[in-house]
Amino acid sequence: MIEGRISQLDFENRSAILVEENGNHIKVNFALRTNVEVIEDETVGLMGGELEDLEEGYHVEIEVASKNEDGSIVCDSIACVS
């Protein structure tokens, strides 16, 4: 699992840049089947969402499905933690 802050989102190409606490930048690619969970305002719990529900600045946890040769990762699941 990787944790960090979304610094850039590209919905058209289904990708994002995630910045880890140590400053490392990771390119994340979202598969068509990626599970997205976002914080629900009323209960402050997680609920199912769409890729478009994510926003730059969100702190997230990502489960990695696979790594690409260029160092980017394919995301299996992403959940907002703040």
36 in Cβ contact with 50 (< 8 Å): yes
Closest CA to 79 of 41, 47, 57: 47
- Enter the pTM of the model: 0.86
**pLDDT above 90 for 42:** no
Q: How far apart are CA 35 and CA 47, in angstroms?
A: 11
Q: Where are the domains of the chain?
A: 2-80
Kindly state which CATH superfamily the domain 2-80 is placed in.
Copper binding periplasmic protein CusF (2.40.50.320)
| Cα-based distances in Å from 30 to 10, 15, 50, 65 | 10, 6, 11, 10
Locate 60 and state its tokens.
């997230």
Q: What is the mean pLDDT of residues 65-76?
A: 91
Provide mean pLDDT across the span 47-69: 91
